[in-house]
């Protein structure tokens, strides 16, 4: 008997009986050898065609585009449990205070709005003016689904929203009020608010047992609404959220503040075990099981495929068994059918995943996350290969999920409060990041332009990590592909390098004070972690880091940023507040000033020390006479220093600065 493992993972046995005599030994030896080679060839041919695809195929992945399996609600999704005020009822009459004399003394006016859409049936709006001169006007109230406050220049005050039942009173009823309402299905208040100037609000809650707790929240002045989450555990005073009698929302109406609220709810995390599709099987030594996933046809930004592979092999004093797991994508959407028909065996056989064809592989248990844009509209194939002397029992669990990607506005700061990794499950590494994007249109892409991404005012210490990538979501290599490993495919190419490699270190030691990146600056990957930046001589500081894209490798299109959030102490506990972080992220396109010259017209200009002044002139084709026309550039009246002049013929959009320290190439005309 001859037993061996073929290259295609099948085990073949050949029973051969040899009857040899001395006279015919040589001839019989030749015959046997020929027979053995023929049998071996036939065995390989048969193994190529009969690749094993166990069970019903393709495998539908829950949540994937076109999948027949519907997933449950996203795990850890923040859902609204109870509406405090939907602001569907206008304040009537609106609260308006026009000062008849200077304040102080303070002046107060109020309005009481009744509706079943308001918790407790009534909203008390109380406006108190503390400072201001005669004839100044203040206002507060709900109109068109928005609660708003208007404070004039030179005035200040306080506005209170009270929810304590139907009492038509400015006094907060903490004894009876809401009658001991149960808020415990939630974990905190969610407020969507906007202010044009820095201000703050105070939330106060009271329970049936006389406990009262208050907590403050800063609201930075900026364009656009922000969502604020105030966790119940932030309230002191041992307030029992199963027996709430009153809620008060107090806003500081500082000088010239315009403040709005559009959402005021009790919110919570709905933790649901994610639906996954798990495949189980047993593979023999030297055998391979193949699986075809349902073809993905509408992959979106932020989508990712999560694969968990586990195996247990027979191990004893006689046997040692281990498994190998392979993943590959293919242009063939049904290799099983192609191989069965044997019509394209030469093209299709090499498409099967295995030792010589894979994008991702692991030996033994592993988790794999294929994140957009590595995740594509294609068909993925999996393979489990048994190695050793015993049977291998394995399980493959699949899930298709997505992470949000927040659009940034070029040059506008996005301030984020209490950002935190979501509660487990799932334990997906991609959820450790908050993703942002910025679209750079071709109209914003010009000579010498580049992108600057900055994270500032990060807290608490030590801060957060920042990464950048072009047309893909940036992650650390160990957090994508095979988790904890560097992934190189069967062609020797890195498949988990999702950090843009062309940034510029503009803070290197000894660097001259250039305004823009220069060609002597070190080129580094676009990856940084916040560091201490002193204000003046200190001791005040902020945590910040900045990424500057190399102008010579900048492109128009969509750029993606990731902020890696701090670890949590209890990631499975929805009430765990550890790992919360605040930061401001800004992405800005920088375009160096370039002056357009006019033929035969003299321009006067200046240039700062260590800086470059850029000019350009268009030469129409119809003004050229071959062999006669020439360009003459005259630089004169240079004062207070020495300058260098470079002349460069434009070659491609965005790469045409004329040499010098800011040029991407030496000047080609001088």
Which residues sit opposite 383 in a β-bridge? Answer: 290, 326
Residues 36, 242: Cα–Cα separation, whole Å: 81
pLDDT at 56 over 90: no
pLDDT in tens, 561-616: 999 999 998 888 887 888 999 999 999 999 888 889 998 899 998 888 878 888 98
Structure-token pair, residue 583? 């930061």
* 636-to-361, 645, 659 alpha-carbon distances in Å: 66, 11, 20
Residue 593: predicted pLDDT: 85
Report the DSSP pairing between strands 244-253 and 199-207.
Answer: antiparallel
pLDDT of residue 37: 40
For every residue of 516-584, DSSP letters joined together read S--TTSPEE-SEEE-EEEESTTSS-EEEEEEEEB-GGG--SEEEEEEEEPPPPSSTT-TT--TT-EEEE
**What is the Cα–Cα distance from 386 to 313, expressed in whole angstroms?**
9
CATH 2.60.120.260 residue ranges for the chain: 79-270
CATH 2.60.120.510 residue window(s) in the chain:
277-401
- State mean pLDDT over 27-42: 42
Element (H, E) at 34: helix 25-49
The whole-number pLDDT of residue 34 equals: 40
Percent with pLDDT over 90 in the chain: 60
Mean pLDDT of the chain: 86
Q: How far apart are CA 629 and CA 622, in angstroms?
A: 11
pLDDT tens per residue across span 152-169: 999 999 999 999 999 999
Please write the tens of the pLDDT for every residue from 388-443: 888 999 999 999 999 999 999 999 999 999 999 998 878 899 999 999 999 999 88
CB neighbours (10 Å) of residue 301? 17
> Please, which pLDDT band fits residue 639 given cuts at 50, 70 and 90?
very high
Kindly report the CATH class assigned to 79-270. mainly beta
Token pair 């450790």 is found at 432
- Is residue 275 over pLDDT 70? no
Pick the more confident residue, 22 or 301.
301
User: pLDDT per residue over 624-634, tens digit each?
Assistant: 898 898 888 99
Q: Can you give the pLDDT at residue 272? A: 45
- Residues whose CB falls within 8 Å of the CB of residue 492, separated by 6 or more in sequence, listed in order: none
Is 90 exceeded by the pLDDT of residue 550? Answer: yes
Average pLDDT over residues 3-23: 39
Residue 15, pLDDT above cutoff 90: no
pLDDT tens for each residue of 222-273: 877 888 889 898 899 899 999 999 999 999 999 999 999 999 999 886 544 4
Average pLDDT for residues 293-306, to the nearest whole number?
94
Residue 338: what pLDDT?
Answer: 80
Lowest mean pLDDT among 6-15, 107-116, 404-413: 6-15
Give the pLDDT score at 14: 39
**What are the CA-CA distances from residue 518 to residues 23, 269, 547, 548, 587 (Å)?**
87, 49, 15, 11, 20
CATH architecture of 277-401: Sandwich (2.60)
Task: Read off the pLDDT band of 74 (50, 70, 90).
Answer: very low
Mapped onto helix, strand or coil, the DSSP state of residue 248 is strand
| pLDDT value of position 266 | 94
pLDDT category at 30 given cuts 50, 70, 90 is very low
- Output phi, psi for 339, to 5 deg: -70, -35
- Residue 525 pLDDT more than 70? yes
Q: How far apart are CA 482 and CA 485, in angstroms?
A: 6
449-500 residue pLDDT tens: 999 999 999 999 999 999 999 999 999 999 999 999 999 999 999 999 999 9
pLDDT digits (tens, 9 = 90+) for 191-211: 999 999 999 999 999 999 999
Tell me whether strands 226-231 and 303-313 are parallel, antiparallel or unpaired.
unpaired
């Amino acid at each position: 008997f001859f037993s061996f493992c073929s290259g295609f993972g099948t085990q073949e046995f050949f029973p051969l009986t040899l009857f040899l005599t001395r006279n015919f030994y040589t001839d019989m030896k030749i015959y046997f050898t020929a027979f053995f080679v023929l049998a071996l060839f036939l065995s390989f041919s048969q193994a190529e065609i009969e690749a094993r695809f166990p069970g019903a195929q393709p495998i539908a992945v829950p949540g994937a585009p076109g999948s027949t399996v519907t997933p449950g609600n996203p795990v850890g999704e923040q859902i609204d449990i109870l509406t405090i005020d939907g602001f569907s009822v206008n304040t009537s009459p609106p609260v308006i205070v026009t000062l008849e004399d200077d304040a102080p003394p303070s002046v107060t006016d109020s309005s009481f709005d009744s509706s079943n859409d308001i918790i407790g049936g009534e909203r008390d709006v109380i406006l108190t003016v503390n400072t201001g001169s005669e004839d100044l006007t203040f206002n507060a109230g709900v109109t068109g689904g928005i609660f708003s406050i208007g404070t004039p220049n030179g005035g200040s005050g306080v506005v209170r929203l009270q929810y304590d039942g139907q009492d038509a009173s400015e006094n907060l009823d903490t004894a009876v009020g809401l009658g001991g309402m149960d808020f415990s299905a939630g974990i905190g208040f969610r407020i969507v608010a906007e202010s044009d100037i820095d201000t703050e609000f105070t939330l106060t809650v009271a329970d049936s047992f006389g406990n009262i707790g208050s907590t403050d929240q800063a609201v930075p002045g900026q364009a656009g609404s922000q969502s604020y989450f105030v966790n119940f555990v932030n309230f002191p005073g041992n307030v029992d959220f199963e027996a709430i009698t009153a809620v008060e929302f107090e806003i500081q109406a500082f000088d010239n503040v315009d403040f709005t609220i559009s959402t005021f709810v009790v919110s919570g995390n709905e933790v649901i075990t994610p639906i996954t599709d798990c495949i189980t099987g047993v593979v023999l030594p030297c055998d391979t099981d193949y699986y075809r996933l349902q073809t993905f046809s509408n992959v979106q930004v932020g989508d990712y495929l999560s694969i968990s592979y586990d195996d247990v092999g027979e191990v004893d004093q006689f046997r040692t068994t281990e498994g190998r797991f392979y993943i590959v994508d293919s242009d063939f959407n049904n290799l099983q059918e192609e191989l069965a028909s044997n019509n394209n065996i030469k093209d299709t056989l090499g498409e099967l995943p295995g030792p010589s064809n894979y994008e991702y592989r692991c030996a033994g248990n592993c988790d794999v996350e294929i994140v957009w844009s590595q995740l594509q509209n294609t068909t993925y194939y999996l393979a489990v290969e048994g190695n050793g002397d015993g049977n291998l029992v394995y399980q493959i669990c699949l899930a298709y999920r997505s992470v949000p990607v927040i659009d940034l506005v070029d040059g506008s700061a996005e301030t984020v409060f209490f950002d935190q990794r979501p509660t487990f499950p799932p334990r997906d590494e991609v959820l450790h990041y908050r993703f942002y994007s910025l679209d750079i249109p071709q109209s914003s892409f010009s000579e010498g332009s580049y992108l600057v991404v900055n994270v500032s005012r990060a807290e608490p210490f030590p801060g957060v990590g920042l990464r950048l990538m072009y047309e893909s979501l940036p992650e650390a290599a160990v957090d994508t592909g095979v988790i904890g490993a560097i992934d190189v495919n069967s062609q020797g190419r890195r498949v988990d390098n999702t950090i843009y490699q062309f940034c510029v270190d503009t803070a290197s030691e000894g660097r001259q004070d250039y305004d823009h990146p220069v060609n002597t600056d070190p080129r580094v990957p676009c990856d940084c972690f916040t560091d201490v930046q002193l204000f003046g001589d200190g001791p005040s500081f902020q945590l910040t880091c900045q990424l500057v894209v190399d102008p010579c490798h900048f492109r128009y299109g969509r750029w993606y940023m990731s902020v890696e959030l701090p670890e949590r102490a209890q990631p499975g506990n929805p009430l765990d507040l550890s790992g919360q972080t605040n930061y401001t992220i800004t992405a800005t396109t920088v375009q160096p000033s370039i002056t357009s010259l006019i033929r035969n017209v003299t321009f006067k200009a200046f240039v700062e020390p260590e800086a470059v002044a850029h000019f350009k002139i268009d030469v129409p084709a119809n003004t050229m006479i071959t062999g006669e026309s020439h360009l003459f550039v005259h630089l004169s009246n240079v004062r207070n220093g020495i300058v260098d002049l470079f002349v460069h013929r434009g070659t491609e959009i965005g790469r045409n600065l004329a040499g010098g320290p800011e040029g991407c190439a030496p000047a080609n005309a001088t």
